[in-house]
Amino acid sequence: MNSYIKEVLERTHKKYSWEHEFLQAATEVLESLNLIIERVPKYKKHRILERITEPERIITFRVPWQDDRGEIRVNTGYRVEFNSTLGPYKGGLRFHPSVTLSGLKFLGFEQTFKNSLTGLPIGGGKGGSDFNVTGRSDNEVMRFCQSFMNELYRHVGPDTDVPAGDIGVGGREIGYLFGQYKKLVNRFEGWITGKGLNWGGSLIRPEATGFGAIYFAEEMLKMKNDTLEGKTLAVSGFGNVAWGCALKASELGAKIIAISGPDGFVYDKDGIIGEKIDYMLKMRASGKDIVEDYVKKFSSAEFFPGKRPWGLNCDIALPCAIQNELDENDAKELTKNQCKMVIEVSNMGCTPEAIQIFQQNNIPFAPGKAANAGGVATSGLEMSQNSMRLKWDKNEVDAKLKNIMINIHNNCIEAADEYSFTGDYISGANIAGFKKVADAMIEQGLV
């Protein structure tokens, strides 16, 4: 390993020894920059690695709210404003009991490179709270969102920091957050994306992460003179992202055969197509956070409690749920079952050991920061529409999204060819994302 990279990694590990997820992400990115750091001395001269691994600003705050029984509850709110070199901080808000500062630092760090890859003028950030949406009434969620905004509003804005949804933050939460911001600042502005279609949201935004991942898969297959036609796909999760994948995959002649939830996974031998895709939305809207109900409705399906879908025979695996959801054993299972390709749609969905297994077995692997960039890219398109006070039609947004995903794919390939080895999408994404941010940081001076 290059000595400068080694030095920075050692120092970061020592300084933030308890931030496991952040360290995992920083290690993965920095280790893949070996050749570019060796060849381009200005990055060391300007101490870019130390600067790029340190968030520009972190805000943490108390979120007090009252539940329906009148009990007072207190959660922690966060916003990690990681890097604003390429544009306003941009990245989702996650409401989930697993949310910690380490997790949000990893996500904000990843977001910086992902957003750079989109080619749009957006920096990187992430935020959220350890609040658990599951089982809460609409009123409780509204009161929580309002309290969260009572602090967050002063740190965000259309030219400062533009949050969006993520796990636990969908259309309902974005509505409540938006309403409270508008009330507090007395301005109707596009400071958050994923808004309702009647009040500034973009068409295709709900589908975008899933659509983008499938477009990326198409490009990877093209490199092998192959297409999605007839392929079987196993997906984890059953939220927006998995739903978007199912819609686009079935349109392109592929078949999703599995989805999963915290309770287990569903295998549908006939594929999740047509009304079954719409049913995914109904399950999500029920607020129960389980997938078992699917088998009560469709007899072609079987439910496997407590299991993940990686033991199935499938052509392509798409982890779409949460970080580190696919481990070494899952990777061995997929390899044994002749899986041909893995598209990581969740952020850092695969453990480093799992990725190693895929690499050893020459299974093409797309990292989340490239494959799932369609979501934030379409958020960028929502920001453009808000600034212009215009609304593009579905086809226009979809065509732009597709074009962005093709460019990301090609930039990964080119960067890997130049500074790593052919077909290494992980290094390709890290290098292509890094180069733009690092060069712009140097151009903007020591700030």
Task: Give the active site residues.
Answer: 126
Query: Which residues neighbour 74 within 8 Å (Cβ) at sequence distance 6 or greater?
Result: 62, 63, 64, 65
User: Which of positions 269-288 make contact with ligand GLU (CB under 6 A)?
Assistant: none
Q: Residues 343-382: x/- map of binding to ligand GLU (CB under 6 A)?
A: ----x---------------------------xx--x---
User: Which of positions 395-434 make contact with ligand GLU (CB under 6 A)?
Assistant: none
Select the span of 76-84, 89-97, 170-178, 219-227 touching ligand GLU (CB under 6 A). Answer: 89-97
Please give the torsion angle defined by the CA atoms of residues 112, 142, 262 and 233, in that order, rounded to the nearest 10 degrees. -60
Smallest distance from the beta carbon of 70 to ligand GLU, in angstroms?
33
- How are beta strands 72-83 and 124-129 bridged, if at all? antiparallel
Nearer to ligand GLU, 203 or 376 (CB): 376
Where does 194-322 have alpha helices with state H? 208-222, 240-251, 275-285, 293-297
Residue 392 φ/ψ region, left for φ over 0, alpha for ψ in the -120 to 50 degree band, beta for the rest: beta
Smallest distance from the beta carbon of 355 to ligand GLU, in angstroms?
19
CA–CA separation, 92 vs 64, rounded Å?
21
Q: Which residues pair with 92 in a beta bridge?
A: 164
Nearer to ligand GLU, 111 or 420 (CB): 111
Sheet containing 89-95: give its strands across: 57-66, 72-83, 124-129, 89-95, 161-164
Nearer to ligand GLU, 118 or 420 (CB): 118
Options 21, 81, 140, 166; binder of ligand GLU; rule CB under 6 A: 166
Options 90, 105, 136, 143; binder of ligand GLU; rule CB under 6 A: 90
Smallest distance from the beta carbon of 271 to ligand GLU, in angstroms?
27
Centroid of chain to Cα 180: 25
Does 112 contact ligand GLU by CB under 6 A? no
Residue 362 φ/ψ region, left for φ over 0, alpha for ψ in the -120 to 50 degree band, beta for the rest: left
User: Which of positions 294-313 make contact with ligand GLU (CB under 6 A)?
Assistant: none
Select the span of 86-94, 211-219, 245-253, 312-320 touching ligand GLU (CB under 6 A). Answer: 86-94
Select the span of 9-17, 88-96, 182-190, 408-416 touching ligand GLU (CB under 6 A). Answer: 88-96
DSSP state of 74: E
Smallest distance from the beta carbon of 269 to ligand GLU, in angstroms?
32
Select the span of 90-98, 331-339, 351-359, 398-406 touching ligand GLU (CB under 6 A). Answer: 90-98
Neighbours of 120 (CB within 10 A): 20
Query: Which residues neighbour 155 within 8 Å (Cβ) at sequence distance 6 or greater?
Result: 59, 79, 81, 161
Number of residues in contact with ligand GLU, rule: CB under 6 A? 10
Does 91 contact ligand GLU by CB under 6 A? yes
Smallest distance from the beta carbon of 284 to ligand GLU, in angstroms?
16
In our burial notation (b when 16+ CB lie closer than 10 A, e otherwise), range 280-293 reads beebbeeeebebbb
Q: Do 90 and 162 form a contact (C-beta atoms < 8 A)?
A: yes
Smallest distance from the beta carbon of 117 to ligand GLU, in angstroms?
11
Task: Please identify which residue in the block is written with the tokens 């709210």.
Answer: 65
CA–CA separation, 277 vs 273, rounded Å?
6
Smallest distance from the beta carbon of 45 to ligand GLU, in angstroms?
32
Options 55, 77, 92, 212; binder of ligand GLU; rule CB under 6 A: 92
Residue (of 73, 127, 124, 133) closest to 97 by Cα position: 133
Select the span of 1-9, 47-55, 84-92, 322-330 touching ligand GLU (CB under 6 A). Answer: 84-92
Residue whose beta carbon is closest to ligand GLU: 92
Nearer to ligand GLU, 201 or 423 (CB): 201
Options 100, 147, 193, 385; binder of ligand GLU; rule CB under 6 A: 193
Smallest distance from the beta carbon of 119 to ligand GLU, in angstroms?
15
Q: Helix or strand or coil: residue 236? A: coil
Nearer to ligand GLU, 108 or 311 (CB): 108
Options 120, 141, 142, 164; binder of ligand GLU; rule CB under 6 A: 164
In degrees, rounded to 5, the angle at the alpha carbon of residue 186 between the alpha carbons of residues 184 and 187 is 120
Binding residues for ligand GLU (CB under 6 A): 90-92, 164, 166, 193, 347, 375-376, 379
